[in-house]
Structure 1
Amino acid sequence: MGERTLRGARLGGQSFEDERGIEFAARQNIGYACPQGHEFEIPMSVEAEVPANWECPRCGAQALSKHGQTPEVKAEKPARTHWDMLLERRSMDELEEILTERLELLRGGEIGPAHLHRQQTKKKAKSA
């Protein structure tokens, strides 16, 4: 076991490769300024699409590019409510009809909370 270990090599902590003969990709430094007054640069590839905003490394606010790019304004869809989804399935006439039917059943004691049914059955039993 001791024969196979590399002594003094700090495995995973040090690379034995050097940078001779390696051609790096062309880079550009993109400047950003955040609303808190912090300014910083991010190195990016020349071929990369430069984002209009970047998170500030100091405070976390959204910093805007100094190159005059403005962030795209995305059209947000309004939130669909339960009522909107209901109106997709039923017309107002159908909803009125269903409401009328349910109110009649509720008033007749056929549906609804149990304590309402108990009161009506007691009244019927007393009157009979």
Structure 2
Amino acid sequence: MAQQTMRGMRLGTQSLESERGVNYSARSTHSYQCINNHVSEMVFAADAELPQTWQCKQCPEQATLLEDGKMVVLEANDDKTPRSHWEMLLERRTREELEEILQERLDYIRARRAGGQADL
């Protein structure tokens, strides 16, 4: 019997979809400028909320949004700084209470060790 080659398409490498009938959303281009005077053009959806800063494409600095050729004055964010576990603990207990709990726990561990029991 003669060998026949299977003819077909490489699955996953070529899309079977076409761009006919696709309606793209409205877009707008906005400029961002960093302190090194690099200007980056970014495209956003027309109804998107614009970020005031964006990472510069040419250097590691933060670029600021330009409106009418002028940099936008950044709004002061009153974001809370992250609290540490220690700060959250101090909101629930006083330092004296924590020292008392620590001493109770240390006494318990010492008693277990003296009794020959392993720590878990």
Could you say what the CA RMSD is over the residues aligned between the two structures, in angstroms? 3.7
Where does the alignment leave 5 or more consecutive residues of structure 1 unmatched?
103-110, 112-128
Measured in 2, the distance between the counterparts of 1:16 and 1:69 equals 47
More strand by share: 2
Measured in 2, the distance between the counterparts of 1:33 and 1:53 equals 9
More helix by share: 1
Measured in 2, the distance between the counterparts of 1:78 and 1:5 equals 57
Decide which of 2, 7, 16 is 2:5's aligned counterpart: 2
Measured in 2, the distance between the counterparts of 1:34 and 1:57 equals 10
Does residue 57 (structure 1) correspond to residue 57 (structure 2)? The answer is yes
The residue identity in structure 2 corresponding to 1:77 is T
Measured in 1, the distance between the counterparts of 2:85 and 2:11 equals 59
Where does the alignment leave 5 or more consecutive residues of structure 2 unmatched?
104-109, 111-120
Q: TM-score, normalised by structure 1?
A: 0.52
Does residue 70 (structure 1) correspond to residue 60 (structure 2)? The answer is no
Between Structure 1 and Structure 2, how many residues are aligned?
95
Which of 1 and 2 has greater Rg? 1
Percent of residue pairs bearing the same amino acid type: 28
What's 2:89 paired with?
Answer: 85
